[in-house]
């Protein structure tokens, strides 16, 4: 910060809203502590902004990608997954859909991408499909629904987890369609996970007239990443059970 020009320093003071210091510029311009105060204020605001965005993202706890066992899936496009972490993913405004059975790491990938986006300065919202749709459906008026839709349409990145684990009526399908359409029109990306092939989404939203159009808008300008694997959680459960049996047998001897 010591090499900032007076013009750059004044611009940063204005950007931070430190108008008192700016008003006294002639008196303070040569003070050696001014740029240090500016640096401290910027660091603190960056920290508080990150904390606020992390809280609002609702990502919660997650395992880091360093723990992801790439050797476990029978099929996964690692390069496509890595591209989700690149700055260009959000910049394109394109969607990405992870398709695979339960327990293969889809949620883990979604949460890591969401966290990385927050760290890079983006606003993010993470939600399961059931929580998001229940939240929207609970609004009792059109005005309340319009306000609540902002929660899922305004953030730079929306992560929707677990589409297909439950079935929904037409009202819920319409709400998901509204979210997808608004983000589609604004070219804001959705990162979504599902355990159902798109051809089976009629089972998720039975009798909903908008399903075909919903899928069409979701997958247009989208990367679809298929994961084929047995449940990794089941694998860990079996290993834990085997380890406990081994420990019990050792105690007997």
Do 136 and 172 sit in the same domain of this protein? yes
Do 230 and 144 sit in the same domain of this protein? yes
pLDDT in tens, 106-159: 999 999 999 999 999 999 999 999 999 999 999 999 999 999 999 999 999 999
**Mean per-residue pLDDT for 220-239?**
85
pLDDT score for 1: 46
Do 133 and 43 sit in the same domain of this protein? no
Do 129 and 171 sit in the same domain of this protein? yes
Do 26 and 118 sit in the same domain of this protein? no
User: pTM for the complete prediction?
Assistant: 0.81
Domain membership of residue 212 (yes or no) is yes
Domain membership of residue 51 (yes or no) is yes
Do 44 and 69 sit in the same domain of this protein? no
pLDDT in tens, 48-74: 888 888 898 999 999 999 999 999 999
Do 13 and 77 sit in the same domain of this protein? no
Do 86 and 143 sit in the same domain of this protein? yes
Domain membership of residue 239 (yes or no) is no
Do 132 and 192 sit in the same domain of this protein? yes
Domain membership of residue 240 (yes or no) is no
Number of domains present in the structure of the chain? 2
Do 209 and 106 sit in the same domain of this protein? yes
Do 102 and 198 sit in the same domain of this protein? yes
* C-beta separation of 13 from 23 below 8 A: no
Beta bridge partners of 159: 126, 191
pLDDT in tens, 6-28: 888 888 888 888 888 888 888 88
**Tokens representing residue 124 in the block:** 């993010």
Domain membership of residue 247 (yes or no) is no
R_g of the chain, CA atoms, integer Å: 24
Whole-angstrom distance, CA of residue 63 vs CA of residue 68? 8
Do 186 and 136 sit in the same domain of this protein? yes
Domain membership of residue 253 (yes or no) is no
**Tokens representing residue 131 in the block:** 């929580």
Here the CATH number for the domain that contains residue 98 is 3.40.50.300
* Residue 141 structural domain: 65-234
Look at strands 157-163 and 222-226 and give their pairing: unpaired
Whole-angstrom distance, CA of residue 125 vs CA of residue 160? 8
């Amino acid at each position: 910060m010591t090499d900032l020009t007076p013009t750059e320093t004044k611009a940063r003071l204005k950007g931070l809203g430190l108008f008192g210091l700016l008003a006294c510029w002639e008196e303070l311009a040569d003070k050696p502590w001014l740029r240090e105060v500016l640096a401290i204020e910027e660091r603190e605001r960056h920290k508080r902004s990150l904390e606020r965005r992390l809280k609002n993202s609702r990502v919660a706890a997650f395992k880091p990608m360093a723990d992801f066992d790439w050797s476990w899936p029978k099929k996964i496009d690692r390069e496509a997954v890595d591209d989700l972490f690149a700055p260009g993913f959000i910049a394109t405004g394109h969607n990405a859909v992870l398709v695979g059975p339960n327990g293969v790491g889809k949620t883990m990938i979604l949460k890591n991408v969401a966290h990385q986006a927050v760290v890079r300065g983006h606003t993010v919202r993470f939600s399961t499909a059931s929580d998001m749709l229940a939240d929207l459906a609970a609004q009792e008026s059109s005005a309340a629904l319009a306000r609540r839709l902002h929660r899922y349409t305004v953030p730079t990145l929306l992560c929707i987890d677990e589409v297909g684990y439950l079935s929904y009526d037409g009202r819920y399908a319409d709400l998901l369609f509204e979210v997808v359409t608004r983000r589609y029109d604004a070219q804001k990306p959705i990162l979504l996970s599902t355990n159902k092939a798109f051809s089976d989404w009629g089972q998720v939203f039975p009798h909903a007239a908008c399903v075909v159009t919903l899928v069409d808008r979701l997958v247009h300008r989208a990367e679809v990443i298929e994961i084929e694997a047995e449940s990794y959680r089941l694998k860990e459960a079996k290993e834990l059970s085997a380890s406990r049996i081994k420990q019990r047998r050792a105690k007997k001897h």
